[in-house]
Chain A
Amino acid sequence: MSQLLQQLVNGLSLGSIYALIALGYTMVYGIIRLINFAHGDIYMVGAFVGYFALRGGLPLPFAFFLAMIIPALFGLVIEFFAYRPLRNAPRIAALITAIGVSLFLENLGILVLSPDPRPFPQVLPDKSIISYGDVNVSLTQFLMIVITLALMVLLTLFVHYTKTGKAMRAVSQDREAAQLMGININRIISVTFVIGSALAGAAGVLVGLYIPRIEPLMGVMYGLKAFVAAVIGGIGIIPGAMLGGVLMGLAETLVTGFLASTWRDAIAFGLLILILLIKPSGIFGTSSRTKV
């Protein structure tokens, strides 16, 4: 029993990471119907910004802040130079470009940062802040879950109650009608990339604190799994990405904990196949909601 509880805690922590990354995939898809393959690499950028900031002696909150801002700038610039010129091109062109941007960031990372994994500075004391029998919640896990929750609440409030948030929802439902409302869609698309990338950057630092090893290719597997999480929840739907990410984390830790750790990566794709068989539009997806 306590082992199960412990695995749930671990799963929730890992799941917050997937959820934070999945949000960026789903938001961008919702707005421009693009699977932004470079998104996992933005998360890697966040981890490295956090790494250098902490190594440089900055306090954690400030490092965390930078690790959201700089990836956000990456997202902004990538959208502007790589995707915007293809706004009216066939979708496959943007998709191929996204793969290109991803490969570019990965190889740039290898070139500039070297391919070797680096230990992430462990600035948090290694102690558990909640202990219940054999079940421990470490300070890192606690922060991961709480920060993720806080970011999700902020995002939800933003999307529902601010003018820009409402415009984002309008653009995702009917781009042309949104333009007729006087919404500058380029601006809304930029905001979407900025927010999604900032969330991925936050995930990068949290993972650094948790797993303590980072490397330029770390975004590949995490990105892929977070993308699967977004599909599971229903791509384009924000609460779907949150739920999908958490489910992914839970499934992965439960399987590694109780079956075998070699199954770790298979579980993500097993879940993907399962959802595609049962409900291809994802948990929160409605089949009628074919996005134009």
Chain B
Amino acid sequence: MLTVENLHVYYGAIHAIQGISFSVRQGEIVTLIGANGAGKSTILKTISGLLRPRGGKIILEGEEISTLAPHQIVARGISQVPEGRRVFPELSVMENLELGAYQRKGKEHMDELKRVFTLFPRLKERRNQRAGTLSGGEQQMLAIGRGLMAKPRLLLLDEPSMGLAPLLVKEIFSIIREINAAGTTILLVEQNANMALSIAQTGYVLETGEIALSGPAGELTRNEEVRKAYLGL
């Protein structure tokens, strides 16, 4: 579905992504794991069009998308739930969700709204509350819900477990699995390698802008290096 080929991304003179290639197949959960500063967010921002690569290709179902603007990429079915949630703090929960469906016409998004409220009943209770006043966990639910409102075919998730209590992390991950089971392909970026590998089919280990290891998630979980470096075993 999505193929990234030999991607190079710079911040000024900093060579943040140094020739990365990977692919995501339809229906899969693929995870990119790596330490702080490895370049995970940079990759997602580049896929979403917020950053322009200096080299390489990003191909979505045969179409090169790395030259498109962010709104055109959303139109092609890719949504991103950014790192740190980035909900619109002064807008209500409902308005945040509506903006997630910005490109959809009229009442088309009503089905998604129902679905989001089923996945996150808490959001329904708080739909008129300002997003900035939600707790961290609720904001993460809102960020995911907002991402789903676009009815994406590919959902990019940037560290959804960040700053959440273990119980909440479990809940969020089971919801991610549910979203995937309902047909949305997922590219999941995580530092919490344990959780990420437990729900993904394929994993890539990122180290300072390059892919160090890759393979089926189960194999990575058993890999000695991964166990030492990322799973704390």
Contact = CB atoms under 8 A, between A and B. Distances in A.
Interface string A163-191: 10011011001101111111111000000
Contacts of A177: 82, 86-88
A176 B150 contact: no
Contacts of A167: 99, 102
Contact of B88 (A169, A182, A185): A169
A180 B88 contact: no
Interface in B87-112: 87-91, 95, 98-100, 102-103
B82 A182 contact: no
Which 4 A/B pairs are nearest by Cβ-Cβ distance?
A: A182-B74, A179-B70, A177-B86, A182-B103
Interface in B175-232: none
Q: Could you tell me the dominant secondary structure of chain A's interface residues?
A: helix
A166 B150 contact: no
A177 B89 CA distance: 11
A179 B102 contact: no
Nearest to A171: B88
B71 A184 contact: yes
Interface of B is mostly: loop
B98 A182 contact: no
A174 to B, nearest CB: 6
A264 to B, nearest CB: 37
B208 to A, nearest CB: 24
A173 B89 contact: yes
B44 to A, nearest CB: 10
B90 A173 contact: yes
B1 interface: no
B48 interface: yes
A185 B69 CA distance: 10
Contact-size category for B: 20 to 34
A178 B91 CA distance: 12
A169 B95 CA distance: 10
Contact of B79 (A178, A180, A183): A180
A167 B75 CA distance: 16
A173 B75 CA distance: 22
Interface of B: 48-50, 69-71, 74-75, 79-80, 82, 86-91, 95, 98-100, 102-103, 146, 150
A181 B99 contact: yes
A177 B48 CA distance: 11
B132 to A, nearest CB: 9
Contacts, number: 62
Interface of A: 163, 166-167, 169-170, 173-174, 176-185
Contacts of A181: 74, 99-100, 102, 146, 150
Contacts of B71: 179, 182-185
B70 A182 contact: yes
A180 B102 contact: no
A182 B102 contact: yes
A180 B150 CA distance: 10
A174 B83 CA distance: 13
A239 to B, nearest CB: 13
Which has the most chain B C-beta neighbours within 10 Å: A163, A167, A176, A185? A176
A73 B154 CA distance: 39
A179 B50 contact: yes
Contacts of A182: 70-71, 74-75, 102-103, 150
Nearest to B49: A179
B74 A173 contact: no
Given A169-B88, A177-B88, A182-B102, 10 more contacts: A163-B98, A167-B99, A173-B88, A179-B71, A180-B74, A180-B79, A180-B82, A181-B150, A182-B70, A184-B71
A266 to B, nearest CB: 36
22 contacts: A163-B102, A166-B91, A166-B98, A167-B102, A169-B90, A169-B95, A170-B88, A173-B89, A174-B86, A174-B88, A177-B86, A177-B88, A180-B50, A180-B74, A180-B79, A180-B86, A181-B99, A181-B150, A183-B71, A183-B102, A184-B71, A185-B71
Contacts of A183: 71, 99, 102
Contacts of A173: 88-91
A261 to B, nearest CB: 41
A182 B103 CA distance: 6
Given A166-B99, A167-B99, A170-B99, A180 B48 contact: yes
Contacts of B82: 176-177, 180
